[in-house]
Structure 1
Amino acid sequence: MHYQTASWGTYMTPTRMLMDDPLERIERLASENAVVIFSISTCCMCHAIKRLFCGMGVNPAVHELDEDPRGKELERALMRLLGTSNVVPVVFIGGKLIGTMDRVMACHINGSLVPLLKQAGALWL
């Protein structure tokens, strides 16, 4: 798992990063990889969702909110986006918000997760 501050293709000065709106930053980070997980490193549900994707052969980009200097801002923005106070883990596939653990597991159980991952280019099987 890794923590990303900006993509290789994006030149961001520290001043510009500080001025980013948290929702804009979430949108940018979510669109940089096929699967993006916003997580907290000590959260057992976050660990489980990361293991699910890795077990499927997917290499998600993981953004650990507790290791990000602006993680609390991102967490509050995710709360507003989801309309709930229980936000982690939050999963984006193909730049689209899938949701928290319960939504991802529902997709996995009903068989819609694999097609989403294939469509996003995260799985080739």
Structure 2
Amino acid sequence: MEAVMRLSSEKGVVIFSKSSCCMCYTVKVLFHELGVNPIVHEIDQNPEGKDIEKALGRLGCRPSVPAVFIGGTLVGSTNEVMSLHLSGSLVPLVKPYRVLTGN
């Protein structure tokens, strides 16, 4: 649990993912399209991945990935992220973490 909390607060937007997960890929693409370069932790490529996955489950992430944290706060998985985006609430949340310049 400590590792998840430490990793989730290291940058504005953090995604715990599995490299073979299509929903994880979708969420990562969404954030890139919003101009955000999230820190992505591919837990299937991490020796502590099983422990991280269990900790995410204890935090309420079901399914455990993708698990999105913004500003150190758990936002949720694909359903929560997409609901925020469709309601217009995601862009204001990520605005401080955008890296696009210009428009």
Cα separation, 2, equivalents of 1:111 and 1:103: 12
Tell me the distance in 1 between the aligned counterparts of 2:34 and 2:93. 13
Identity value in percent: 53
Q: TM-score, normalised to structure 1's length?
A: 0.76
C-alpha root-mean-square deviation of aligned residues, in Å?
A: 1.3
Work out whether 1:113 is the aligned partner of 2:93.
no
Q: Pick from 63, 74, 86: which aligns with 1:97?
A: 74
Greater length-normalized contact order (CA 8 Å, ≥ 6 residues apart) = 2
Number of matched pairs:
100
Q: Which residue is equivalent to 2:34? A: 56
Q: Which runs of 5+ in 2 are unaligned?
A: none
Partner of 1:7: none
Unpaired runs of 5+ residues, structure 1, are: 1-22
Amino acid at match of 2:97: A
CA distance in 2, matches of 1:123, 1:113: 12
1:73-113 deviations in Å (ceiling 9; x for gaps): 000110111163x1110000011100000000000000110
Query: SS at 1:82's partner residue?
Result: coil
| Paired AA for residue 114 in structure 1 | V
Q: Which residue of 1 aligns with 2:17?
A: 39
Q: List aligned pairs for 1:49-88, cutoff 5 A.
A: 49-82=27-60, 84=62, 86-88=63-65
The 2-side partners of 1:29 and 1:87 are apart by: 15
**TM-score in terms of structure 2 length:** 0.92
Counterpart Cα distance in 2 of 1:63 and 1:36: 8
* Alpha-carbon contact 2:16-2:68 (below 8 Å) kept: yes
Regions of 4+ moved over 2 Å: none
